[in-house]
Amino acid sequence: MQIFITILLSLIIKLNAVAAIDNDKANPSLTLFKDMEGECNNYCFGIVKPILQQTKQQQFTDLQDKIKDLYTIIKQTERQLAAALIKLGVCEDASKGRATMSDEQLKRRTEQMTELQDKVKQQEQSVRTMESQVQSMSRSLSVCEQSLKHHELQQLQLQDLNVACSNSSGIKDELINTNRALIEKQKAASQAEQIKLELKERRIRELTSQLQQKDKELSSQQIKLANQLAKSKQQADTLVDYTEQLSKCQASSCLGKSTEVHVIRLPGMEPFAVYCDSILADPGWTVIQRRRDGSVNFNRNWTDYRVGFGDLRGEFFIGLDKLHLMLKSQHHELYIYLQDFDDENRYARYDHFLIGSESDFFKIMSLGEYSGTAGDAMTSQKDMKFSTPDPKADYHQCNEYCLSIGTPLVAHLTDCKSQQIDKIQQQENLIRTLQELSNSKDALIAEVDKQVEQLESELKIKSENPDHSQAYSCLSFVNSSDVHTIAIAGHESFEVCCDSKTAGSGWTVIQRRQDGSVSFNRTWSEYREGFGQLNGEFFIGLDKLHLLTNSAPYELYIQLIDYHNEQRYAHYDHFVIGNEADSYSIKSMGKFTGNVTDSMDLWHVNRKFSTPDRDNDLSARHCAAEYLSGWWFDNCYMCNLNGPYLPSCDSLAGIQWRDWTHENLKYVQMMIRPCNLSKFTV
């Protein structure tokens, strides 16, 4: 009996332990599923849902297995209780039969049995409670499943709604952007059309004014033509005054003279004009001959060579008579400057040059000592007489009496011929001017059409690119004279200063001098990168200038103002410079136009850029260091727009355009612009 009670107690303890374990395991599951009944956002739901479903299924299966095990244990317990009751009955029957069993033992066993029955009842109550929990759990699982299905349905609806909203938002944004783009294009087109009309009206007014001015000039020329005789008299009076001025001239050479045409006077001869040069070699040289472009025919007769011919500012020969008198009047040296078609330069110098008179046929009497880089080719010509294509037999056979009569006669005839030629040239120039004026209207109309076409192209660029985000030049910024950003394909963008006031729209300023606030005595790297302020004095930089002029055909416009506020301009229709490997040499200038003499093309095309720390010029001197600036120096220059900013004076060290004036300039601005819109793509 004691063994049976022990087994029964162990079973009850085991049942309680299993129930406690099941209770401990069931409660978190119920709590977990109860938490699922709350709201869960999409992200949480997407992660937790699969875990909860798997956990729910696993827990539900485990609970079913445990319920089966509990029912098995309960059945076993019931069978054991029944067996125990049977045994208890047997024991009671046996105890009744035993007279030796005391009432106290029986009472204690009865109490134990009562306790055991209470425990069995508690166990049954625990089993019923567990069944109730299982049923509650099943209901919770059912609720959770329904909640999960509801969440899934809501999730699908939410996804559909998000997709619909996203599509609707995209369509809405697209419609808004399209509407805005249409509004911007309409505004740009309206502004462009208005600007176009204003520019056309302004240009028409300007051209009308120019036509009126041309008409006035034509009338003035006609009046001038009608009063030609009166003017001829005035010119004669002026010639007399000029002759008096020449008679007062005392200079006998170019020493102390600037590079320009001057008048000198030699003993035994009337004053005459010569061209002085103080740049090529040393100061004070008198140019006696110049060949550079073939514009003057040197196949001349004896008289032409004796008197001289050509233009002192172009190709010419000074004349053997003048040359003889100059060399005879004082000691002279000879400097010969040579340049081949590969732009290689050489020179020859002789320290005592002298020729004879016409009676000696102007033979070379002396050359002196040679120095130079060209080689001595003149010494072998010493004592040689001068020859011309026409026969000189008559000159050899002419005696002094013949010469005394013939020479003045030839000179007189030559002077008369020269005067007649001058008058004919004046008449031809006047007729040419009248013809140009008579054709000016057609030219102006053609110019209007060209400028209107250019304006239309510029306005088209503006309407197609209103934000200027891909501007390649200042043409994109119609009528703007501000700082803008442009970009060359394949390179980083950079800022430039645009000018639409000086010479039309679309110009990019590459250099400006106006007050001396910025020093242009800079190194090679500074000229390569650029320096200064775009709204003041600056140089854009050789790298950027190379990129611009090689990205499209560009024209160059140079504005010049002196200290008398006189203005000039020079225009070149195709400006290109090389890269750093070429020392940024000027590859092309194109055709020149302007109201100033061209000082760039002859002296500076194909010249490399030099700075004080890098000498690339053609001179034995270091021009950039000598003139404190960077420029395309030759030997050394006819213009230097980067020279020191100095007051007005006759100086070689300042800002110079020497074919206009020898004084320093007060204001200079260099600008470039694409010159062929059909080849220029924005």
Span 618-667, pLDDT tens digits: 888 899 998 899 999 988 888 999 999 988 775 667 898 988 988 899 99
CA distance linking residue 322 with residue 309, whole number of Å: 12
pLDDT band at 542 (very low <50, low <70, confident <90, very high): very high
CA distance linking residue 562 with residue 664, whole number of Å: 7
Q: Is residue 641, in this structure, part of any structural domain at all?
A: yes
β-strand pairing of 483-486 with 494-499: antiparallel
CA distance linking residue 681 with residue 551, whole number of Å: 10
The top-scoring range by mean pLDDT among 197-206, 389-398, 545-554 is 545-554
Give yes or no: residues 287 and 265 share one domain.
Answer: yes
Q: Is residue 166, in this structure, part of any structural domain at all?
A: no
Domain boundary among 357, 381, 405: 381
pLDDT band at 172 (very low <50, low <70, confident <90, very high): low
Reduced to 3 states, what is the DSSP secondary structure of residue 457?
helix
- The residue that leads in pLDDT, 442 or 536, is 536
CB 542 within 8 A of CB 584: yes
Confidence (pLDDT) at 466 = 47
How much of the chain, in percent, has pLDDT values that exceed 70?
Answer: 65
**Eight-state DSSP code of residue 467:** T
Give yes or no: residues 664 and 639 share one domain.
Answer: yes
β-strand pairing of 531-532 with 538-539: antiparallel
Q: Is residue 298, in this structure, part of any structural domain at all?
A: yes
pLDDT of 532 over the 90 cut = yes
CB 372 within 8 A of CB 346: yes
How many CA atoms lie less than 13 Å away from 126 in the CB half-sphere? 22
CB 452 within 8 A of CB 207: no
pLDDT of 20 over the 60 cut = no
pLDDT band at 18 (very low <50, low <70, confident <90, very high): very low
β-strand pairing of 364-366 with 639-640: unpaired
- The residue that leads in pLDDT, 541 or 192, is 541
Give yes or no: residues 527 and 616 share one domain.
Answer: yes
Q: Stretch 442-454: mean pLDDT, rounded?
A: 62
**Among candidates 669, 640, 668, 675, which has minimal Cα distance to 549?**
675
Give yes or no: residues 235 and 331 share one domain.
Answer: no
Distance of CA 313 to the CA centre of its chain: 39
φ/ψ of residue 681, rounded to 5? -115, 125
Give yes or no: residues 335 and 238 share one domain.
Answer: no
Instruction: State in Å, rounded, how far the first CA of the chain is from the last one.
Output: 112
Q: Is the pTM of this model over 0.85?
A: no
Give yes or no: residues 212 and 301 share one domain.
Answer: no
Confidence (pLDDT) at 444 = 62
Q: Is residue 605, in this structure, part of any structural domain at all?
A: yes
Q: Where are the alpha helices (DSSP H) in 562-658?
A: 601-604, 623-626
**Eight-state DSSP code of residue 678:** G
Residue 574 makes CB contacts below 8 A (sequence gap 6+) with: 553, 554, 555, 588, 589, 590, 591, 675
Distance of CA 184 to the CA centre of its chain: 26
- The residue that leads in pLDDT, 348 or 17, is 348
CB 264 within 8 A of CB 272: yes
CB 472 within 8 A of CB 498: no
What is the number of structural domains in the chain? 3
The top-scoring range by mean pLDDT among 481-490, 608-617, 668-677 is 608-617
| Neighbour tally for 239: CB within 10 Å | 10
Q: Is residue 466, in this structure, part of any structural domain at all?
A: no
Amino acid at 438: S
Q: Is residue 33, in this structure, part of any structural domain at all?
A: no
pLDDT band at 34 (very low <50, low <70, confident <90, very high): very low
Burial classification of residue 395, based on how many CB atoms lie within 10 Å of its CB (0-12 exposed, 13-18 middle, 19 or more buried): middle
Domain boundary among 365, 381, 397: 381
Strands (E), 552-664: 554-562, 567-572, 576-577, 586-588, 592-594, 639-640, 656-657
Relative orientation angle of helices 42-97 and 103-226, to the nearest 10 degrees: 180
Residue 601 makes CB contacts below 8 A (sequence gap 6+) with: 572, 589, 592
* Residues facing residue 569 across a β-bridge: 559
- Domain of residue 354: give its range: 260-381
* Residues facing residue 673 across a β-bridge: 555
φ/ψ of residue 271, rounded to 5? -60, 145
Average pLDDT, the chain: 77
Q: Is residue 600, in this structure, part of any structural domain at all?
A: yes
Give yes or no: residues 224 and 344 share one domain.
Answer: no
Give yes or no: residues 276 and 299 share one domain.
Answer: yes
Give yes or no: residues 538 and 649 share one domain.
Answer: yes
Domain boundary among 246, 273, 293: 246
* Residues facing residue 498 across a β-bridge: 508
The two tokens of residue 56 are: 């729910």
CA–CA distance from 304 to each of 321, 387, 404, 406, 590 (Å)?
11, 12, 19, 15, 35
pLDDT band at 29 (very low <50, low <70, confident <90, very high): very low
CB 22 within 8 A of CB 130: yes
Give yes or no: residues 365 and 276 share one domain.
Answer: yes
Give yes or no: residues 491 and 638 share one domain.
Answer: yes
CA–CA distance from 440 to each of 7, 16, 210 (Å)?
135, 123, 10
CA distance linking residue 662 with residue 650, whole number of Å: 5
Q: Is residue 88, in this structure, part of any structural domain at all?
A: no
CA–CA distance from 73 to each of 33, 79, 129 (Å)?
28, 10, 16
φ/ψ of residue 37, rounded to 5? -75, -15
Give yes or no: residues 644 and 519 share one domain.
Answer: yes
CA distance linking residue 288 with residue 302, whole number of Å: 17
CA–CA distance from 249 to each of 240, 245, 273, 284 (Å)?
15, 7, 11, 17
Residue 321: CATH number of its domain: 3.90.215.10
**Among candidates 495, 512, 528, which has minimal Cα distance to 630?**
528
